[in-house]
Amino acid sequence: MEKVALAELVKRIRESHEIRIEAIPDIELYMDQLLTFLNQRLDSSSHKSQDNHIFTKTMINNYTKDRLLIPPKNKKYSQQHIMLLILIYHLKGILSISDIKRLFEPILQDINTPDDDLIPLEDIYTTYLDLTENYLTEFSENFSNKLSFITDLTAHLEGDANNVARLFLTVLVLIAQADLSKKVAELIIESYFNAPSAMEDLNRIVYNIDLDSVFGQGSREPE
């Protein structure tokens, strides 16, 4: 895989993630309108058939029953619903629905009202987009080193064999990164989000986690 090809893939992923709040309809939508918006905006994959939708009516109804999604008002869905569904879409590629629910419970608390949210949903949504944008930029810059390493490993191969070997090793590297990130996320949820009602314990644990050292950023200077 060449760097130009990698940049094009990152561009496609960035476009599928870049649904800013101002691009979300600020009017309430009925179910069919909601599904049309979500399935059109989130489906960046050209090989998917029209029958293979990202969201269905049954899925959204199930999320509502499980108290993962805010109940609609008069069968209409707002920007809040759309933001939460987009977050669910991205998270469920890594986490189970039950883990997503455990993750959100101590943050959004009573799903029926935003008044008790530990972090406003709008802030969660924009922060996720910003973090993704930052990661994609870093990914484009840092993965070039791995591509160079892969090129050196496959230098003895020629023609199609070289191309296939490089693509294979590229996928292995990406899967290794994704698998590690997934396992770390699952361990955090399993260890610290088992009893979301115990907010004092959760807060105590969070204050004792040195996130900078976990992610290799070093210690922060005191302000």
Query: Any bridge partners for residue 73, and if so which?
Result: 76
For the cut 50, the answer to whether the pLDDT of residue 105 exceeds it is: yes
How high is the pLDDT of residue 16?
63
Report pLDDT digits (tens) over 150-206. Answer: 888 899 988 899 989 988 998 998 899 899 999 999 999 988 887 544 455 555 544
Tell me if residue 74 falls in helix, strand or coil.
Answer: coil
How high is the pLDDT of residue 214?
44
Report pLDDT digits (tens) over 81-95. Answer: 999 999 999 999 899
Q: What is the pTM of this model?
A: 0.77
Dihedral class, residue 4 (left if φ above 0, else alpha if ψ from -120 to 50, else beta)? alpha
For the cut 90, the answer to whether the pLDDT of residue 49 exceeds it is: no
Residue range 60-65: average pLDDT?
95
Report which of residues 18 and 159 the model is more confident about: 159
Residue corresponding to tokens 């949504």: 125
How high is the pLDDT of residue 111?
84
Q: DSSP characters for 120-143? A: -HHHHHHHHHHHHHHHHHHHHHHH
Sign, Cα dihedral of 210, 214, 215, 220 = positive
